[in-house]
A and B are shown apart, each in its own frame.
Chain A
Amino acid sequence: PTSSSASTSIVNDFNQDTLQQRLQGLIDTARESWTYAIFWQSSIDDYSGHSVLGWGDGYYKGEVNKPKTTQSAASLAEQQYRKRVLRELNSMISGTPAPENDAVDEEVTDTEWFFLISMTQSFANGNGLPGQAAFNNQPVWLAGSDRLLASHCERARQGQGFGLQTIVCIPSADGVIELGSTELILQNSDVMKKVRVSFDFNNGGDM
Chain B
Amino acid sequence: NKDLPLSRKKSLKRFLEKRKERQVSVSPYAS
Which residues of A pack against B, CB within 8 Å?
Answer: 9, 11, 13, 16, 20, 41, 55-58, 60, 62, 86, 89-90, 92-93, 106, 112, 115-116, 119
Contact = CB atoms under 8 A, between A and B. Distances in A.
B15 to A, nearest CB: 6
Interface in B1-31: 1, 4-16, 18-19, 22-23
A60 B18 contact: yes
Contacts of A58: 11, 15
Nearest to A120: B8
Contact of A93 (B5, B13, B22, B23): B13
A60 B14 CA distance: 9
Nearest to B2: A92
B8 A55 contact: yes
Tell me what chain B mostly uses at the interface: helix, strand, loop, or mixed. Answer: helix
17 contacts: A11-B7, A20-B14, A55-B7, A55-B8, A56-B7, A57-B7, A58-B11, A58-B15, A60-B15, A60-B18, A62-B22, A92-B1, A93-B12, A106-B19, A106-B23, A119-B8, A119-B12
A13 B9 CA distance: 11
Contacts of B12: 89, 93, 116, 119
B8 A89 contact: no
A89 to B, nearest CB: 6
Nearest to B7: A11
Contacts of B5: 55
A62 B21 CA distance: 12
A86 B16 contact: yes
A93 B7 contact: no
